[in-house]
Amino acid sequence: MRWDEQRVENDLRLPGVGDGTVVRTFDAPEAMGINFHEVRARSALNHVPGGRYGFSYTVNAFRGCSHACSYCFARRTHTFLDFNAGRDFEREIVVKVNVPELLRAELARPSWKRELVALGTNTDPYQWVESRYRFMPEILAALEAAETPVSVLTKSPLLLRDVDLYEQMSKHLPVSVNLSVPTLDEDAWRATEPHTPSPAARLDAVAELRKRGIDSGVLIAPLMPGINDDPAQVQPIINRAREADATFLGGVALHLRDEVRDVFFAWLEAKRPDLLPRYEQLYAKGRAYMRPEQRKRTTRAVRGWGRNRGGGKLPNAKAPPAGGGVGGTTPEEALATAGGGGSPAPTGPAGQQPLF
Ligand code: SF4
């Protein structure tokens, strides 16, 4: 327990997490009225069947994400816990307090094959609450001790707190640490990701990681028509990624499914009513994806980037995004379908299969 003030509600139960029992629930005055539900999970390693995205295992210490991105695909997984995908996803954060110890035990099994483990596939591993729990150093230490490659995706430069660990690991293990930067446009950023750290600071983090010799790329996702997909908005990210010596750059068009669709359309109505008719057309009749020609248009500024290993536009560019990078089934959708995730999912140079 990291706060002195606490509220214990042992009668609360959350389906889908460990035995469903909440160890304790409390809010933190400095955390904007967010409730944290500490639970004991049954396992730390989550197996993702198929392996088509370049990773077969994920670890997620949190459910819900206080970064509160309007488009977040992980929102729907909160409904598995009997929370809603809107405000609850942002304000009712489940903390699996025993993840580091579980992970150490699971990685120590003789059956563990040291396959790539992806972090950041469901919710952001460096969201605000990680600054209090400090799970990541323990998770990284466990992975390193088990000689297990790792790939991380986050929107927070808090990861630089652990840069020495990443540097040390990357000397003898495939390690890929990637930053999601959908936009540098101040208005678009504030409107779509109200509680994320500055996008410019995320790109600075990429530069620092690269200076330390750590594989680090930039994911521009989701690209949303009329919000952040104008090439004039995207180009500065590309320029900064290149200056930072990023090893990967990719982009993915927005897709909307189930509860995420409802949340996003409610957000449009509140923040960008001018775009409502356009989105109703783009995602008509419950479509999760835009039509291919529109997807192509939306991702035009990033098409081709990251595909240029050995002579490309990014000097250290790695292999193309798994799943084609734009359109098609994306890892987050597959993970959400599997009940294990929802937000941008990293794989990476660790497996020669960068983000998506
Ligand atoms: S997209 Fe990522 S950072 Fe944003 S709310 Fe979802 S998990 Fe958090």
Report the pLDDT value the prediction gives residue 10, as an integer from 0 to 100: 52
What is the residue with the minimal CA distance to atom 1 of ligand 1?
72
Q: 233 to each of 78, 153, 185, 302, how far by Cα in Å?
A: 32, 22, 7, 11
Q: Assess if residue 73 is contained within a domain.
A: yes
Q: Assess if residue 10 is contained within a domain.
A: no
Instruction: Return the ligand 1 atom nearest residue 155 CA.
Output: 3
Q: What is the mean pLDDT of each run of 10 residues along the chain (356 residues)?
A: 49 66 67 84 91 86 96 95 94 94 97 96 94 96 98 97 98 97 96 96 98 97 96 96 94 94 97 97 95 94 61 46 29 33 35 27
Mutational test site, ligand 1, from 34, 72, 83, 335, max ligand atoms within 8 Å of CB: 72
Report the pLDDT value the prediction gives residue 315, as an integer from 0 to 100: 53
Q: Distance from the CA of 343 to the center of ligand 1, in angstroms?
A: 6
Report the pLDDT value the prediction gives residue 329, as an integer from 0 to 100: 32
Provide the residue range defining the domain that includes 202: 22-351
Q: Distance from the CA of 38 to the center of ligand 1, in angstroms?
A: 20
The dihedrals phi and psi of 119, each to the nearest 5 degrees, come to -115, 135
Report the pLDDT value the prediction gives residue 13, as an integer from 0 to 100: 67
Report the pLDDT value the prediction gives residue 320, as an integer from 0 to 100: 35
Q: Assess if residue 13 is contained within a domain.
A: no
Number of folded domains that form the chain = 1
The Cα–Cα gap between 184 and 204 comes to 12
Mutational test site, ligand 1, from 34, 60, 66, 67, max ligand atoms within 8 Å of CB: 67
Q: Assess if residue 196 is contained within a domain.
A: yes
CATH number reported for the structural domain that contains residue 344 in this entry: 3.80.30.30
Mutational test site, ligand 1, from 78, 119, 127, max ligand atoms within 8 Å of CB: 127
Q: Distance from the CA of 251 to the center of ligand 1, in angstroms?
A: 16
Q: Assess if residue 292 is contained within a domain.
A: yes
Which residues are near ligand 1 (CB < 6 Å)?
65, 67-69, 72, 74, 123-124, 155, 343
With the C-alpha atoms ordered 66, 123, 78, 2, is the resulting torsion angle positive or negative?
negative
Q: What is the largest CA-CA distance in the chain?
A: 60
Report the pLDDT value the prediction gives residue 24, as an integer from 0 to 100: 73
Report the pLDDT value the prediction gives residue 103, as an integer from 0 to 100: 98
Q: Assess if residue 274 is contained within a domain.
A: yes
| Strand, coil or helix: 190 | helix
Q: Assess if residue 4 is contained within a domain.
A: no
Q: Assess if residue 47 is contained within a domain.
A: yes
Asked if residue 320 has a cis previous peptide bond (ω within 30° of 0), the answer is no
Structure token digits, residue 325: 């990078």
Q: What is the pTM of this model?
A: 0.85
What is the residue with the minimal CA distance to atom 7 of ligand 1?
123
Q: Distance from the CA of 69 to the center of ligand 1, in angstroms?
A: 5
